[in-house]
Amino acid sequence: MHNSITLSIASFACISIVACSTTQTTENQTKDDSNDSVPMTKLTAPKDAPSKTTEAQPTRLAIGDEAPAISIDHWVKGNEVAGFEDGQVYVMEFWATWCGPCISSMPHISALQSDYGDKVLFTGVSSEKELQTVTSFLKDTNKSDGKLNWDRMGYTVAVDPDRSTYGSYMTAAGQRGIPTAFIIDANGKVAWIGHPMSMDEPLSEIVEGTWDLASASEEFKTNQAREIATGKFQMSLRKTQESGDWDAYISAIDTFIAEYGNNSQLDDMKFMALLTGKKDKAAAYAWANQMMKNNWDSAMAMNSMAWKIVDQMPAEDQNLDFALKIALRGCELSNYTDPMILDTLARCYWEMGNRYKAISWQEKAVELGSGSSMDESIVATLNEYKASLANVDE
């Protein structure tokens, strides 16, 4: 049934090492978005932010580096942090008043500040140009809990309108989404970078002195390198797709896989490039066969590919024998009890012209209805099959 995804170059962004499950947020969203989910917001700079062309590019920043000096114009709440003192742990968290996930994170950060007391100093840094934007926000009441934002932010709040501190941290570290937190250890080193809702464990180890900074640094640099490579890879795919150079397109995928490993999206992109780009059906299904060998024990992978073939492809691109083979494997793995996979199996038989067998399996799918919204669709399909067969018999 409907589990497959038609992939394009645009969808490849989800493969990037940069957070793929983002919540789109812009400055036009309001403070009432505080019930948004935890995933990192994709940052959209406010209209009045300085142009990138006017900002000097900061030195690259990675975990393990000395924490850059901060330059803050306005300390709105709490004490000014003049510099990072030896023996003191700091958290610099970048946020905005228009960012729902940032607002959702505030009570958690406040709880951590309360728990750690003077052991950790938390500072929330907004880069909005107008100071009043932040001060007005702090006076507002949050609709999710009825508390003033001033009280929800139980830690230091600062405003960085010229984005100098933002540049030294966020831009330099290649971070493109907020909220993002930087933990600075007792030796003044950047020890961790990530979403503030995920910092509890690393923060605890950093405070206790058990954090493996060397390993964290190596992992971060590896991820940075992959992110850069992914950006270049996406650009390469886009250019080769636009030019119709499918050999170069497929070669780019193979090269990336060899360096950074494989995943289902890359597999599917190569399959579709062979099938609809090069129009080499034999090569496409040879690759699909390898894909299925790699996922032979995944019922969902079998179902997804089979459904893609029988429901989303024109007849000339279909290989119904292959679709039936993997649909049967999906049924075997699920003990013939998953109505969605049975629905796919029935569709395979229907497309192959085995109408009565298709109806038999579709009836089984209806019988095993999962109680989900898909049940209605499965019943409707059965009715369509029966109506079509009745017309033929007449």
The ranges assigned to domains in the chain are 19-211, 295-394
- Which string of DSSP letters, residue by residue, matches 190-237? EEEEE-GGG-HHHHHHHHHT---HHHHHHHHHHHHHHHHHHHHHHHHH
Strand order in the sheet with 190-194: 74-77, 156-159, 120-126, 89-95, 180-184, 190-194
Name the class of domain 19-211. Answer: alpha beta
pLDDT per position as a tens digit, 258-307: 988 888 899 999 999 999 999 999 999 999 999 999 999 999 999 999 99
Q: CATH classification of 295-394 is 1.25.40.10, yes or no?
A: yes
Instruction: Give the separation between CA 20 and CA 190, rounded to whole angstroms.
Output: 24
8 Å CB contact between 169 and 92: yes
pLDDT in tens, 164-222: 999 999 999 999 899 999 999 999 999 999 999 999 999 999 999 999 999 999 999 98
Q: Which of 367, 360, 368 is nearest to 386 (CA)?
A: 360
End-to-end CA distance of the chain: 30
| C-alpha to C-alpha distance for 17 and 80, rounded to whole angstroms | 35
**Which of 153, 148, 91 lies closest to 123, judged by CA?**
91
Using an 8 Å Cβ cutoff, are 191 and 202 in contact?
A: yes
pLDDT of residue 7 exceeding 70: no
- For residues 14 and 21, give the distance between their C-alpha atoms in angstroms, rounded to a whole number: 7
Is residue 69 within 8 Å of residue 3, measured between CB atoms? no
Of the candidate ranges 22-26, 49-53, 354-358, the one whose mean pLDDT is the lowest: 22-26
Provide the 3-class DSSP secondary structure of residue 175: coil
Q: Do 295-394 and 19-211 have the same topology in CATH?
A: no
- With contact defined as beta carbons under 8 Å apart, do 163 and 127 qualify? yes
Q: How many residues comprise the chain? A: 394
Instruction: Choose among 163, 159, 80, 149: nearest CA to 124.
Output: 159
pLDDT tens digits for range 80-92? 999 999 999 999 9
- Let me know: does 19 contact 40? Beta carbons within 8 Å: yes
E-only strand ranges, the chain: 23-24, 41-42, 74-77, 89-95, 120-126, 156-159, 177-178, 180-184, 190-194
